[in-house]
């Protein structure tokens, strides 16, 4: 089952996306919908207003999540690529909601940065409130998976040992197009201007989605609509010799088999 937030003539709406049609779920966005008890059954049985699937305008999957928690250095090959040792605990940082854009929206190049990089990631969407979750509770709290690209201003990121300043520029992070329930994610890939630059299996993750939900919920309560970006594999531009970065007009295609695909064009900040 695919669930999304779309833009409509009067705002936004949460929808179930079927093969040819999207059915409204009676909520303004997916975050609001996931907060309802029994949302899975409601989504399956929904019979609201309909939209032609080929004409959907996808908003960020959850436009105003309470939290966007991101994980650094979580693919074994990327950790080795960056010259680091495998971590004992997840490396966490955060984004704010203004960083998020839809799966086919323009991605804005941060003004003042000359080192904007790509990071294809598996996104986890929380579907139940959890605190101090056991492994079983953590797995059950996952609503499903989505596609994220953690577009990063490397020059800002590495100004200090804290990463947030390079990670949460406004309108920089595509999320979506939809949340997929009941499906395990397959191969993750990223193309820049038609060239394959990243390719990995989520089995290479050091900390699994359930591991991350359990760990993060020991720090803070996770609530429906929270997003966890699980980290990127090797192949980022910053690690290349010489480094390669995104520019105005660059095209970014991010795909996870069985989950979905994003297509974004880089534009200058106004």
pLDDT tens for the chain, residues 1 to 270: 999 999 999 899 999 999 999 999 999 999 999 999 999 999 999 999 999 999 999 999 999 999 999 998 899 877 777 677 888 999 999 999 999 999 999 999 999 999 999 999 999 999 999 999 999 999 999 999 999 999 999 999 999 988 999 999 999 999 999 999 999 999 999 999 999 999 999 999 999 999 999 999 999 999 999 999 999 999 999 989 999 999 999 999 999 999 999 999 999 987
Burial of 248 (0-12, 13-18, 19+ CB in 10 A): exposed
Phi-psi region of 71 (alpha: psi -120 to 50; beta: other; left: phi over 0): beta
85, two tokens: 């040792």
Give percent above pLDDT 90 in the chain: 91
Q: Residue 263's pLDDT is what?
A: 98
Gap between the Cα atoms of 207 and 146, Å rounded? 17
pLDDT tens figures, 209-224: 999 999 999 999 999 9
Is this prediction's pTM over 0.85? yes
Q: How many CB atoms lie within 10 A of CB 182?
A: 8
Gap between the Cα atoms of 106 and 124, Å rounded? 22
- Tell me the domains of the chain and their CATH numbers: 2-55 (no CATH), 68-268 (3.90.850.10)
Q: How many CB atoms lie within 10 A of CB 75?
A: 26
CB 4 within 8 A of CB 15: yes
In this structure, the dihedral spanned by the alpha carbons of residues 109, 115, 119 and 124, taken in order and rounded to 10 degrees, is -60
Among 114, 253, 147, CA closest to 192 = 253
236, two tokens: 């980022």
Gap between the Cα atoms of 188 and 166, Å rounded? 23
Gap between the Cα atoms of 166 and 210, Å rounded? 26
24, two tokens: 């409204």
Residue bearing tokens 């695909």? 261
pLDDT tens figures, 164-185: 999 999 999 999 999 999 999 9
Q: Cis omega before residue 177 (within 30°)? A: yes
Gap between the Cα atoms of 232 and 82, Å rounded? 12
Q: Cis omega before residue 242 (within 30°)? A: yes
């Amino acid at each position: 089952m695919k669930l999304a937030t779309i833009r409509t003539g009067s705002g936004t709406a949460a929808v179930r996306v079927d093969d040819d049609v999207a059915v409204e779920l009676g909520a303004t966005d997916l975050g609001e919908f996931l907060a309802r008890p029994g949302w899975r059954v409601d989504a399956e049985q929904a019979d609201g207003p309909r939209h032609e699937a080929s004409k959907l305008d996808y908003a960020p999957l959850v436009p105003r999540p309470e939290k966007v928690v991101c994980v650094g250095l979580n693919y074994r090959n990327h950790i080795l690529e960056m010259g680091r040792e495998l971590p004992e605990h997840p490396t966490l940082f955060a984004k704010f909601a203004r960083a998020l854009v839809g799966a086919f929206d323009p991605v804005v190049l941060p003004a003042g940065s000359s080192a904007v990089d790509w990071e294809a990631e598996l996104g986890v969407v929380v579907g139940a409130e959890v605190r101090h979750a056991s492994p079983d509770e953590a797995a059950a709290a996952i609503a499903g998976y989505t596609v994220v690209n953690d577009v990063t201003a490397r020059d800002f990121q590495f100004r200090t040992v804290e990463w947030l300043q390079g990670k949460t520029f406004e309108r920089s992070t595509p999320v979506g197009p939809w949340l997929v329930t009941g499906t395990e994610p397959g191969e993750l890939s990223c193309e820049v201007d038609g060239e394959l630059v990243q390719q990995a299996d989520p089995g290479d993750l050091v900390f699994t989605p359930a591991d991350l939900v359990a760990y993060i919920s020991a720090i803070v309560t996770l609530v429906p609509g929270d997003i966890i970006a699980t980290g990127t594999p090797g192949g980022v531009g910053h690690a290349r010799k010489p480094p390669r970065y995104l520019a105005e007009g660059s095209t970014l295609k991010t795909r996870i088999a069985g989950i979905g695909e994003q297509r974004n064009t880089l534009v200058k900040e106004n």
